[in-house]
Structure 1
Amino acid sequence: MMDKMFFESKSRYAFDETVERLNNIIAEAGWRVTHTHDLKETMNKNGYEVLPVKVIELCNPKYAYRMLSADELRIYGNMMPCRISVHEKADGKTYVSRMNSALFASQIGGVVEEVMSGAYHDAESFVAQIAE
């Protein structure tokens, strides 16, 4: 099952352009980028060298509201917001990885499955626009 839980796609673009294009695609779709974590920078500050990695946190308020407005669903708040990771590998290529939240949510069902499946399919459409 773990081989279906995470996906990685090769980007058609260099690292910085991939991040920029994803940010634009996300905004054009009505989603919000809530934060971008620069993990290379964080690691450098702690004395470690790694290849570029940025984790984009994105949120669709309509999806988020459906989960956060119900007390019994707030337990799943730790799965929010959605995340897309952009990273460079030793081959010099840029890759985009993400979690299969639809598969995870299928184990829960109900509103959680509806919301997380919708978010997953939206995120996949964002990645498809930059993937080889």
Structure 2
Amino acid sequence: MKHILIIASVILGFFAGIIFSGITLSISSGEMMIKELKSPYPFDKTVEVINQRINSKAGWHVSTVIDQNREILINGGKGIGKYKIIKYCHAGFSAKMLASDKRKKIGNMMPKSFAVYEKSDGQVFVSTMNGAIMGKIFGGEIEEIIEEVSLEVEDIMRFINLKYTLF
């Protein structure tokens, strides 16, 4: 009888651990996938600095800046305030990522982007996908390329102390 109680306790503990882990991952996954950092500058200056830093880094360039508020307004939506999406790219890394048929699917996440926005309290933030997490999700060659890209993006965004981490 004592052995049955021990086995039942172990099994119950195992399943409780799985459930707890699932709930924890579900709650924290959104926060882990996207990095959000407060900018030390006002909105327009933040957009200007990011553009300048991207374009001055060898191989990198801003491909477009989308005024998301304007897009929403001209297409019938209600304004959201200051919000720009900066799309940027590195031809060498893009070619490396998309050269293999196995990796072409990653193109839907390209080019990379930053969202720059002002919250209702006037504070300006920058958000981007967490390269460390994205790399781990895909693994293999994709992870290796994303790690290389992430190091360069961290350097570009040093002014707001961007550091990709798993947690």
Name the TM-score, length of structure 2 as normaliser. Answer: 0.73
Aligned AA (1:89): K
Q: CA RMSD in A?
A: 1.7
**5+ long unaligned stretches in structure 1:** none
Distance 2:155 2:37 in 1: 12
Question: Which of 67, 78, 84 pairs up with 2:114?
Answer: 84
Distance 1:21 1:48 in 2: 28
Q: Would you say 1:125 and 2:165 are equivalent positions?
A: no
Superposition map of 1:44-59 within 5 A: 44-45=73-74, 46-59=76-89
Q: Would you say 1:34 and 2:63 are equivalent positions?
A: yes
Are the counterparts in 2 of residues 4 and 100 from structure 1 also a CA contact under 8 Å? yes
- The Cα offsets for residues 37-72 of structure 1, whole Å up to 9 and x where unpaired, read as 110101111241111111111111111111111112
Q: Which residue of 1 aligns with 2:36?
A: 8
Q: Which residue of 2 aligns with 1:114?
A: 144
Q: Which residue of 2 aligns with 1:98?
A: 128
Q: Which moved more, 1:43-52 or 1:119-128?
A: 119-128
Q: Which moved more, 1:104-113 or 1:10-19?
A: 104-113
More helix by share: 2
Q: Which structure has the greater CA radius of gyration?
A: 2
Q: Which moved more, 1:12-21 or 1:110-119?
A: 110-119
**Identity level (%):** 33
Distance 1:75 1:4 in 2: 22
Aligned AA (1:44): L
**5+ long unaligned stretches in structure 2:** 1-28, 162-167
Q: Which residue of 1 aligns with 2:50?
A: 22
Aligned length: 132
Q: List structure 1 runs of 4+ shifted beyond 6 angstroms.
A: none
